[in-house]
């Protein structure tokens, strides 16, 4: 039998501020997970912890189909949302199964990635509780113990994730859903319109997918190649820098010797690889990547033209 254990640790001192063990609070009978002796009975399966607006903890337990609010000081369960022992009256369309990534937002709502399906290890089979996975926004009335569905986000193609997945609320109100074992990431407008969709590839499941500002600075220099024209009709340089996100233009430097190359022109970056036509007769050339502000980012090796 496997129980769920969480700890809060003071990084500076290493002191354990809270240790919570599921068997002290949640009975085995609340689980929907089929027993499997050879693997171990993972009756709870905690898969996310969030800090609620009041400072307490929100746990998601996949195998009981429930969220638990935990008193951060005492470890006592303040309420159960979903599953067999829910403390809330839930509308049918607000119920979820095999879920991931529960987040308690500052406005009091709770977001959840509702898998709706599960595959079990060691030949224990699978279950599909829903036809399609979704991201849900729940209106949680803690005082009145009532939960209703505010919004639901589904993919236009019926994706069903049997594991993993997440729900990210972006700063502009958009929603980013990672579909876990259905390897896709999707961005939705607040009203539910699909804005962007990324197919990660059928052999590449993703536990969670996020959208964040990101800048790539490769550790290798820009790459350069040359194709010479026929009958001394110039040459074409091909410049690229795999992983660099800030390149705006390429500065081309030429000269008779590699030790004496001078800027000869500039070309705007065109996609992954930029073709640059040279018309002079200089013996060598290199390229330097610059950003939109004109800052030098990196230079290639020199090649013979």
Among candidate residues 142, 167, 199, the one where a domain is terminated: 199
Range of the domain at 242: 223-304
242 and 124 inside one domain = no
Q: Identify whether residues 193 and 229 lie together within a single domain.
A: no
Confidence of residue 220 (pLDDT cuts 50, 70, 90): very high
pTM score, whole prediction: 0.79
Q: Are residues 168 and 270 in the same domain?
A: no
Task: Give the pLDDT of residue 1.
Answer: 85
Of 143, 165, 199, the last residue of a domain is: 199
pLDDT at 139: 97
Each residue of 68-124: pLDDT tens digit?
Answer: 999 999 999 999 999 999 999 999 999 999 999 999 999 999 999 999 999 876 665
Do residues 40 and 127 share a domain? yes
pLDDT at 107: 92
pLDDT at 23 over 60: yes
136 & 229 share domain: no
User: Does 216 fall in a domain?
Assistant: no
User: Do 105 and 237 share a domain, yes or no?
Assistant: no
Q: What is the pLDDT of residues 105-115, one digit of tens each?
A: 999 999 999 99
Are 191 and 230 contained in the same domain?
Answer: no
Flag whether 90 is in a domain: yes
Residue 55 burial (CB count, 10 A): 9
Q: Look up the CATH number of the domain holding residue 289.
A: 2.60.40.10
Number of domains in the chain: 2
Question: Residue 44: inside a domain, yes or no?
Answer: yes
Q: Tell me: do 159 and 72 sit in the same domain.
A: yes
* Mean local confidence (pLDDT), 207-233: 89
pLDDT at 229 (0 to 100):
73
Any domain includes 217: no
Q: Label residues 9-44 b or e (16+ Cβ within 10 Å = b).
A: eeeeeeeeeeebebeeebeeebbbbeeeeeeebbbb
Q: What is the mean pLDDT of residues 271-290?
A: 90
Q: What's the average model confidence in pLDDT over 167-177?
A: 96
215 domain-assigned: no
pLDDT of residue 263: 94
pLDDT band at 67 (very low <50, low <70, confident <90, very high): very high
Determine, yes or no, domain membership for 210. no
Percent of the chain at pLDDT exceeding 70: 95
Average pLDDT on 261-281 reads 91
For residues 18 and 110, membership in a common domain is answered with yes
Model pLDDT, residue 228: 84
User: Does residue 263 share a domain with residue 160?
Assistant: no
Query: 161 vs 228, which has greater pLDDT?
Result: 161
Write the DSSP assignment of the chain as a string of letters.
-B--EEEEE-TTT--EEEEEEGGGTS-GGG--SPP-TTT--B-S-EEEEEE-TTS-EEEEEGGGTEEEEE-TTT--EEEEEESTT-SSEE-GGG--SS-EEEEE-TTS-EEEEE--EEE-STT--EEESSSS-EEEEEEEETTTTEEEEEEEE--SS----SS--EEEE-TTS-EEEE-TTS-EEEEE-TTS-EEEEEE--TT---S-----------SSPPEEEEEEPGGG--EEEEEE-TT-S---EEEEEEESSTTS-EEEEEEE--SSEEEEEE-S--SEEEEEEE-TT--EEEE---EE-
**Quick one: 145 and 253 in the same domain?**
no
Residues of the chain above pLDDT 90, percent: 84
**Rg from Cα positions in the chain:** 27
Per-residue pLDDT, 124: 59
Of 199, 231, 259, at which residue does a domain stop?
A: 199
For residue 19, tell me if it sits in a domain. yes
Is residue 212 one of the residues assigned to a domain? no
Whether residues 138 and 9 fall in one domain: yes
């Amino acid at each position: 039998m496997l129980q769920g254990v969480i700890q809060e640790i003071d990084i500076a001192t290493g002191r354990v501020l809270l240790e919570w063990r599921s068997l002290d609070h949640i009975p085995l009978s609340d689980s929907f997970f089929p027993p499997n002796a050879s693997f171990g009975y993972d009756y709870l399966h905690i898969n996310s912890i969030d800090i609620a607006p009041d400072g307490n903890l929100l746990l998601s337990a996949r195998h009981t189909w429930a969220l638990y609010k935990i008193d951060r000081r005492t470890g006592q369960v303040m309420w159960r949302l979903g599953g067999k022992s829910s403390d809330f009256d839930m509308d049918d369309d607000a119920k979820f199964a095999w879920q991931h990534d529960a987040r308690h937002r500052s406005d009091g709502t709770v977001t959840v990635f509702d898998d709706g399906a599960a595959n079990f290890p060691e030949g224990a089979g699978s279950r599909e509780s829903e036809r399609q996975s979704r991201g849900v926004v729940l209106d949680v009335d803690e005082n009145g113990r009532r939960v209703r569905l505010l919004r639901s986000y589904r993919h236009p193609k019926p994706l069903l994730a049997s594991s993993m997945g997440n729900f990210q609320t972006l700063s502009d109100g958009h929603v980013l859903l990672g579909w876990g074992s259905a390897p896709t990431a999707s961005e939705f407008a607040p009203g539910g319109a699909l804005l962007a969709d990324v197919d990660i590839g059928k052999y590449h499941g993703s536990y969670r997918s996020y959208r964040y500002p990101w800048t790539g600075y490769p550790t290798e220099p820009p790459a350069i190649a040359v194709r010479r024209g026929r009958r001394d009709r110039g040459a074409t340089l091909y410049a690229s820098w795999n992983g660099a996100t800030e390149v705006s233009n390429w500065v081309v430097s030429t000269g008779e010797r590699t030790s004496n190359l001078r800027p000869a022109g500039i070309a705007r970056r065109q996609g992954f690889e930029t073709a640059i036509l040279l018309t002079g007769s200089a013996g060598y050339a290199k390229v330097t990547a610059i950003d939109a502000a004109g800052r030098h980012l990196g230079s290639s090796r020199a090649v013979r033209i």
